[in-house]
Structure 1
Amino acid sequence: MLLVAKIITAIVALLHLYFLWLEMFAWTTKAKKVFRSFPEDLFERTKTLAANQGLYNGFLSAGLVWSLLIQDALWQFNVALFFLGCVLVAGIYGAISASKKIFIVQGIPALLGILFWLASHYI
């Protein structure tokens, strides 16, 4: 269970690193292909907002990577749960405010990570 929890945490961290890149560095290029329903004329005008959003995704990624590097099992568990919880809340909010797809891409992996960390700790 612990290995699966760590693998899922690493996947979520990589996803958020990708979101950082997409929103900070590829908003007016690659992001147009990813966010097809977003109006074409808004990409350039929202570049700064997207970069700010990307930075926050980078912080989530950094926290998740940090959780994997912590040697103390209890601290590792707590930090991983905290950052996965932040990702889950972001996924829920994104689903409510923007698109249900956000919960699928962001929320479900975080929820799975939380469940596996809890299972590894309590079972």
Structure 2
Amino acid sequence: MMVLAAEAAADPPRAIGIAVFVVLVALGVLLIGSVFSRTLRSRVLAPAGYAVVGIVCGYLVARGIVEVVTIDVADPASYRDDWGGPSLLGVLAVHCGPGVAVLIAAGLLIRRRRANRVPVAD
């Protein structure tokens, strides 16, 4: 019985890989279709691109937050084998750096959009 439970636990990562593959193939088909259709390009690919970028950026920010929460700063053994280790500064730079860069870029984009906004005349 225990063997069956262990095998069932190994299946979800394979299913996730297959789902990612299917999504990538679908995006490839949309990209090929966008060469021939301007409507498809503006109505489907732009929102899909924003969605993919949003998901990746959300992952990077969440990864940085989880790394800060899960490591024990006082215990070097908790982060010694992580990427960027054995130093705490290296681990935080590798895991939190991309999330911080995303937040800085988002802040700059929001600031630029607000500066370029045309005031509405009453």
Please report the TM-score for the alignment, with normalisation by the length of structure 2. 0.36
Larger radius of gyration: 2
Please report the TM-score for the alignment, with normalisation by the length of structure 1. 0.35
Q: Highest relative contact order (Cα 8 Å, sep 6+), 1 or 2? A: 1
